[in-house]
Chains A and B, each alone.
Chain A
Amino acid sequence: MPNVSGKAYGLTTFCPIRNGHKEGMANSSLLRKRLQELPENEGSPMAKVSDTYMARFYILDDAIFESYPARLDRLQSKYLVFTSNFHGDLDTYLTGMWNSINPIIKQLWADCVGFEKVDSARSFVEYIKKCQLTNTFFFNGSTDESLQEQLKSLFLKQEFSKFVFAHQGVPAKQLLQDFKDFVAWSKPKVLSSPTWKAGACSPDGICIK
């Protein structure tokens, strides 16, 4: 089945950007600038869209064939490329995306052909589907679980490993009590908290570049 691997979905979309310019800049350049100004990691708007494993935006200028002889296919428009790997089905995901970050969506897609008709979750889903490219070679680099489940697992794995290192050789009775305290604090069955934040690159939010 195209676009799908287990419970993961690989969405690939190309939305044409209207030719033209504003304030001395091409529409596509303005959009690229807006994308480059988006906050990263926890601050990224896509971190607010539930079940996003990994999303990417870029601008496709032209299609370049880089072999011999090199060839340039000039496209009729430039495209906003939006790809996302997520958990679940497409309609639910896009509806959730609209409901979480529609002011950002409106900003990013503002200059895309036909987007002026989008004013609701439903019309957004329809619009994105029109831009969609069927993806037949989708490799899911994540597990099949929901994002919340995965973030909680990651959190538990790291916290439990800290617990293990801190409790080497602790007498059994004390160890049992400490472990009970650890379980009570870490709440393995409660996905919402405590857990890793979506988009965070470390538990304390520090990113090494």
Chain B
Amino acid sequence: METLLDLYDIQGNIMKNYAEAGFVKARYLFFKLNNGDQGRTFVNSVIPFITSSAPWTDGDENADGVLWPEAATNIAFTYNGLKNLGISVQTLQSFPDEFIVGMRGRRTILGDNGPSDPARWDPVWHEEIHIFLSIDAQTDEAVEKRYNQIMDVLTLHQLDKVILLDGHRGNKNEGTKKYQDASVLYESGVPTSKEHFGYTDGISNPFFKGMTADMGELVGGGKKNTKGNLGYGNPELQSTWLPLETGEFILGHKDEALEYPVAPMPPLMAKNGSFMVYRKLHENVGKFNLFLDEKSKNFPGGKELLAAKFVGRWRNGVPITTFPDEKDADELAMKRQKAIQLITLAKTPAEKIEAQAAFREINKKFHAYDYNEDLNGGRCPVGAHTRRANPRGSLEFGNKKAFDSPSAVDNRRRIIRRGLPYGLTEDPAGNDGNHGTIFMSINASIKRQFEFVLQQWINYGNDFKLANDKCPILGNHSELNGKGEGRMVFGSNSITDDPPYFLNELPRFIETRGGEYFFIPSLTALRMIAEGIVDPT
């Protein structure tokens, strides 16, 4: 039976990729509540601003959806936030352990050690955080306007016990800030989807039941087909893929185990909600550039290929397993870049919708692939970042029918990726400063999905037969006497006759600067939280 989701009840950051809709600017606010009544008044007063997953229309009254907004706003809560909002002990105790403990408490599992140790996080993460509120919009002005509207709520209702927390590390000589700004990066004034190392980021996202074609890509985004040999078919074919079960991402719906996911009680509190991981990841740009320069001197394929081997995509985002040739990859990337530009340049909502459709057509080449023709990693190393984070059904290692379906062991480890870069790289040779990526992961189980991927697939290699090798780019490599201790093997390539290549001395390129676990309630649950009527019995 077709899955019908109440898109008007599910918060928009779950189903919508705002950046793809041209919302390339964001601001993240974190609040602390010193009084439950004021907290509930605040939540109640911001509900009118909260964006759902309903489609955005150009004003056509016959079309299903809501008018294209000026800004999108979403809200989520920590365990302590819910507690301070007066949620009963019974409901609080029904939340999963990792959510109750929070990110700081899970640091050992997350590999947040050394420079990523919570003791070194931005000052704001040393406070008790209760509410996350995000603003996404097309321009800085629209972000600022929505921010003022939210701040006006505090003034209007005299909410002096609802504190917007200060303490986000700012740029040099800027001190700390009261919010975290984020934005796409620009190249010669043109918006890109790149992060600070120059990689196009946030390309792949899962496709699940209840999503419509305009929300994502089934081909490459779903799971491998479970019927007969269809899942082993050409990855560009629709029939190779099936949508994932909704319950992997949204609570109150059946998941890949064909069960309802573990969720807080009462069911109304959980249904159409989800869990979100927020992480501020600092990028050591100088270290990365130096490493790439030094190591590419002896690497036969040159600097760009070396950079591509780290991630499994050329820095322009094109997958190396299907586009091993740099020129072909560049050509495709140019087309995609132009399509993105057209989305941001579109003036009317109708133009925007058309531009988005054109973008999706080109974007398919970035999704519609797997590793069946590249099992030993001759083109895309088995330990490359994107192959680790989403193995695309390659964990049978060519042993067909080892599992019920080719992707059976990765179907329960998928995450929705959200977020944007923050800050600017002022000095390409420097590591200091305030620049990196705001990473968000949305999943039904933080423990089974996000934490597993980070602990077992990013910071370890056994599932890929790579012993204890970590992800080259995101791995928490240790360093000794100024040299990194991480290493990586590029498989041999039987087509080009390339021998395997061994890369060592990988340092810690990315450091955690803060983060927390949040619960994203449905609009229904949000209203119940605001009214104080969540009844656990």
Contacts and interface: CB of A to CB of B under 8 A. Distances in A.
B161 interface: no
Contacts of A166: 504
Nearest to B500: A164
Contacts of B487: 165
A166 B504 CA distance: 8
Nearest to B487: A165
A161 to B, nearest CB: 8
Contacts of B501: 168
A165 B504 contact: yes
A: contact size bracket: under 10
Contacts of B504: 165-166, 168
Contacts of B481: none
A169 interface: yes
A168 B297 CA distance: 12
A159 B298 CA distance: 23
Nearest to A167: B502
Nearest to A157: B467
Nearest to A162: B504
Interface in A137-196: 164-166, 168-169
- Interface of A, helix, strand, loop or mixed by DSSP: helix
Contacts of A165: 487, 502, 504
Interface in B251-309: 298
B476 to A, nearest CB: 13
A167 to B, nearest CB: 9
Interface string B499-517: 0011110000000000000
A97 B487 CA distance: 41
Contacts of A168: 298, 501-504
A170 to B, nearest CB: 10
Nearest to A158: B467
A87 B487 CA distance: 34
A71 to B, nearest CB: 30
A182 to B, nearest CB: 15
A159 to B, nearest CB: 14
Contacts of B503: 168
A165 B501 CA distance: 9
A164 B502 CA distance: 7
A21 to B, nearest CB: 40
Nearest to B504: A165
Nearest to A164: B502
B214 to A, nearest CB: 47
Interface string A58-79: 0000000000000000000000
A166 B503 CA distance: 9
Nearest to B467: A161
A165 to B, nearest CB: 4
A166 B298 CA distance: 13
A168 B503 CA distance: 8
A206 to B, nearest CB: 12
A111 B440 CA distance: 59
Contacts of A164: 502
A117 B258 CA distance: 60
Interface in A73-113: none
A166 B487 CA distance: 11
Contacts of B502: 164-165, 168
Nearest to B488: A165
A51 to B, nearest CB: 25
B533 to A, nearest CB: 37
A200 to B, nearest CB: 16
A38 to B, nearest CB: 27
A165 B295 CA distance: 12
A166 B483 CA distance: 13
A168 B502 CA distance: 7
A174 to B, nearest CB: 14
Interface in B468-510: 487, 501-504
Nearest to B295: A168
With most chain A CB atoms within 10 A of its CB, the pick from B298, B502, B503 is B502
B527 to A, nearest CB: 41
B456 to A, nearest CB: 16
B486 to A, nearest CB: 11
Interface in B219-233: none
A168 B294 CA distance: 14
A169 B487 CA distance: 16
Interface string B61-98: 00000000000000000000000000000000000000
A169 B502 CA distance: 10
B295 to A, nearest CB: 10
A75 to B, nearest CB: 35
A158 B503 CA distance: 16
B298 to A, nearest CB: 5
Nearest to A166: B504
A165 B502 CA distance: 6
A25 to B, nearest CB: 36
A164 B487 CA distance: 11
A164 to B, nearest CB: 5
Interface string B295-325: 0001000000000000000000000000000
A103 B119 CA distance: 49
A111 to B, nearest CB: 39
B258 to A, nearest CB: 25
Nearest to A165: B504
A164 B501 CA distance: 10
Contacts of A169: 298
Nearest to B298: A169
A109 to B, nearest CB: 38
Nearest to A169: B298
A168 B299 CA distance: 10
A169 B503 CA distance: 11
Nearest to A168: B502
A32 to B, nearest CB: 29
11 contacts: A164-B502, A165-B487, A165-B502, A165-B504, A166-B504, A168-B298, A168-B501, A168-B502, A168-B503, A168-B504, A169-B298
Interface of B: 298, 487, 501-504
For the complex of A and B, list the 7 residue pairs with the smallest distance between their C-beta atoms, beginning with the closest.
Answer: A165-B504, A169-B298, A165-B502, A168-B502, A164-B502, A165-B487, A168-B298
Given A168-B298, A169-B298, 9 more contacts: A164-B502, A165-B487, A165-B502, A165-B504, A166-B504, A168-B501, A168-B502, A168-B503, A168-B504
